Structure 1
């Protein structure tokens, strides 16, 4: 079986690529990094190292790579012949790969090929829906009806600890043993099938999406934004500060309280999930930057995303959201990374319009609400802390 996977970064090779390999697929990576394309084609394989097993090496073979920039014709042909198409390019980049994928699906349709599963394995709510819409909206002449006739588009929820590494002069990936790949089974080409081994298949993806986004991603983002204010540059340093760890746990528990009421999760099940998340963040020997964890603050402040989403719903369900409100305020202060376009945009907006308008614009929380005034108050408090620690 053949799989085409867009993105040969850490998630692409260390998570989705490994699962595709375990499921019997030969993989063609579509990747813009020329150095990585050359390495994969030279070796026809790559290595991953299992963090929880003493960094034991596992080799992923039967792989090739193509550049969508210089080899688009070849990429299109691979899509025509594929048995599975997946992505892990970062959610903000889905519109960038949409034209090439749309051309490939259009060619597949013209060739009389059957439907193929297309899964966007991105850290975003209803990720494959985003990709499908991006293809329908891109300049390629393919409409939604044609997309539906040639592809099936299950959304996914994804989670795994993966880190870039270099071993023996070659790019490799260090990976955690535990992972989560939840797939909408009712949208698969064969709804009762399990095409990717190790995945969890469900007819209610929403609750799994929110569990992961509102607990793990929320806690991670909260730690990054607060850690930034206290002068940390490495996320693991935040998790060496037990007072901040207690606050991260409390934030995740606020989201968990919401999910218990909303979906009927058992409280202990979510407490165990929180323990797993915090334990993973504390994994010895792992280093990750605050800038990477906290990147794209505008996207992460959106009404359906990891901070504002659970915060607003906690208010609706009568749950505590004290720390979630604090996290939103902290995210509004993450404006110092000049290499992050959303940091630059957020900083410019706050300077031009003021933080009150920024709260309304980027979170959707209205000025007449109690939450709005709490965020504004916390913003001013946290700005003072930032001035002390990041001089």
Structure 2
């Protein structure tokens, strides 16, 4: 099997590439950052540090890297030899990647390559497979449409391992080094595939994948946002410390209840089983061996306050199914008051707040409408609490 990974960031290197190496597979990165491409090709290896009571260091090798400008070798590989494409580029970059893959698949069809090929989305994003499918199938000819539907699998997966930057000292010795959580579970939508994937550690083919990714996003990501923004307001530096603060834990427990109620209504999950699932989220957040910073997780609050992102998205879902997202509204309020000086997005958000007020942010950033008056009122109420009790 020959494998292509679009993206060479922390998840691409620290999870996908690491698993492929563990499974004995070589692979190719495709990365937009040309300096990173050069570094990968020069070093020919990088370290993955698995965090725990004892740190295990794996040295990943057996790869090369293409830049986005290396169009011909990328398209040639997709047309001739690639059997699996993993994508980990960030949701906003998916359309461009999809167009590149489309060109490769078109050449594959022209050259009568009848072997099946799988595309696996490894994105912390809602419905990434739909974005890639639209890039491939929109305005496709009947012949190309039929070829792709017959030969191309497009499947979503759930990435639950955290991958973070190591210390500055370690980065000086190995700029490509990644610290990762000792977590290997890799669920993939079995129905989206056309053939078997590489035999990877932790790989699980899930037949009933409906709601799987949304559950992860609205459980793990909502919890992450809650801890990072409330933790910032209380002056914490590390996620694990904030996730053990009694007041934050109380709010977080209510967030799990709120999101769990809505997700179980929407996807008919068993509530007791779902609440067991939330314990894996809490365990990850409280893991003291996973040295993760509040600043990294809270970064870019304008994006994370978006209408479908980790806090506003689940809050709207809770209301849709008859619940009251009071704890989620508190987390949203804390995010609105996030003003980390080194974060340009946070500083822009602060200027919106000071110049135009909270309602402007709710309308223009959270994209709430008059129909969302209940949620708006909850957030406004909690903004007063945050403003009065935070270090601002």
Q: TM-score, normalised by structure 2?
A: 0.84
Query: 1:128, 1:156 within 8 Å by CA — same for their partners in 2?
Result: no
> Can you list the C-alpha shifts for 1:321-345, whole angstroms capped at 9, x where unaligned?
210121222223335566555x466
Q: Secondary structure at the match of 1:334?
A: coil
Corresponding residue number in structure 2 for 1:60: 60
Corresponding residue number in structure 2 for 1:283: 287
Query: 1:164, 1:174 within 8 Å by CA — same for their partners in 2?
Result: yes
Q: Bigger shift: 33-42 or 71-80?
A: 33-42
Corresponding residue number in structure 1 for 2:144: 146
Corresponding residue number in structure 1 for 2:132: 131
Deviation at 1:266, TM superposition (A): 3.5
Using the alignment, how far apart are the partners of 2:193 and 2:25 within structure 1?
Answer: 17
Structure 1 gap segments, 5+ residues each: none
Corresponding residue number in structure 1 for 2:276: 272
Using the alignment, how far apart are the partners of 2:32 and 2:214 within structure 1?
Answer: 31
Cα distance, 1:340–1:290 mapped onto 2, change above 3 Å: farther
> Can you list the C-alpha shifts for 1:185-236, whole angstroms capped at 9, x where unaligned?
222113xx45453233234333212321121111001111222223334433
Using the alignment, how far apart are the partners of 1:339 and 1:63 within structure 2?
Answer: 34
Using the alignment, how far apart are the partners of 1:107 and 1:82 within structure 2?
Answer: 13
Cα distance, 1:28–1:159 mapped onto 2, change above 3 Å: same
Q: Secondary structure at the match of 2:205?
A: strand
Cα distance, 1:127–1:237 mapped onto 2, change above 3 Å: same
Do structure 1's residue 77 and structure 2's residue 76 form an aligned pair?
yes
Deviation at 1:168, TM superposition (A): 8.5
Using the alignment, how far apart are the partners of 1:184 and 1:146 within structure 2?
Answer: 24
Using the alignment, how far apart are the partners of 1:167 and 1:337 within structure 2?
Answer: 24
Corresponding residue number in structure 2 for 1:382: 386
Corresponding residue number in structure 2 for 1:178: 183
Using the alignment, how far apart are the partners of 1:40 and 1:82 within structure 2?
Answer: 20
Deviation at 1:352, TM superposition (A): 6.1
Query: 1:154, 1:183 within 8 Å by CA — same for their partners in 2?
Result: yes
Q: Secondary structure at the match of 2:161?
A: strand
Q: Secondary structure at the match of 2:235?
A: coil
Cα distance, 1:364–1:68 mapped onto 2, change above 3 Å: closer
> Can you list the C-alpha shifts for 1:87-117, whole angstroms capped at 9, x where unaligned?
1122223244344334333333333323421
Corresponding residue number in structure 1 for 2:108: 108
Deviation at 1:144, TM superposition (A): 9.3
Q: Bigger shift: 213-222 or 363-372?
A: 363-372
Kindly report which structure 2 residues correspond to 1:39-54, keeping only aligned pairs within 5 A, or say none: 39-52=39-52, 54=54
Cα distance, 1:38–1:116 mapped onto 2, change above 3 Å: same
Deviation at 1:124, TM superposition (A): 0.6
> Can you list the C-alpha shifts for 1:272-299, whole angstroms capped at 9, x where unaligned?
3222222222222433233321234344
Corresponding residue number in structure 2 for 1:205: 209
Cα distance, 1:231–1:67 mapped onto 2, change above 3 Å: same
Using the alignment, how far apart are the partners of 1:287 and 1:85 within structure 2?
Answer: 31
Corresponding residue number in structure 2 for 1:367: 370
Query: 2:53, 2:289 within 8 Å by CA — same for their partners in 1?
Result: no
Cα distance, 1:346–1:131 mapped onto 2, change above 3 Å: farther
Q: TM-score, normalised by structure 1?
A: 0.84
Corresponding residue number in structure 2 for 1:300: 304
Measured on the aligned residues, the alpha-carbon RMSD in Å equals 3.1
Deviation at 1:27, TM superposition (A): 0.6
Using the alignment, how far apart are the partners of 1:125 and 1:23 within structure 2?
Answer: 28
After superposing on structure 2, the runs of 4+ consecutive aligned residues of structure 1 that deviate more than 4 Å are 134-137, 141-145, 335-341, 343-353
Query: 1:295, 1:340 within 8 Å by CA — same for their partners in 2?
Result: no
Using the alignment, how far apart are the partners of 1:147 and 1:103 within structure 2?
Answer: 13
Using the alignment, how far apart are the partners of 1:130 and 1:214 within structure 2?
Answer: 19
Cα distance, 1:177–1:185 mapped onto 2, change above 3 Å: same
Query: 2:180, 2:290 within 8 Å by CA — same for their partners in 1?
Result: no
Structure 2 gap segments, 5+ residues each: none
Query: 1:28, 1:66 within 8 Å by CA — same for their partners in 2?
Result: yes
Deviation at 1:86, TM superposition (A): 1.0
Deviation at 1:134, TM superposition (A): 4.5
Query: 1:85, 1:118 within 8 Å by CA — same for their partners in 2?
Result: yes
Cα distance, 1:275–1:286 mapped onto 2, change above 3 Å: same
Kindly report which structure 2 residues correspond to 1:150-165, keeping only aligned pairs within 5 A, or say none: 150=148, 151-165=152-166
Using the alignment, how far apart are the partners of 2:28 and 2:131 within structure 1?
Answer: 23
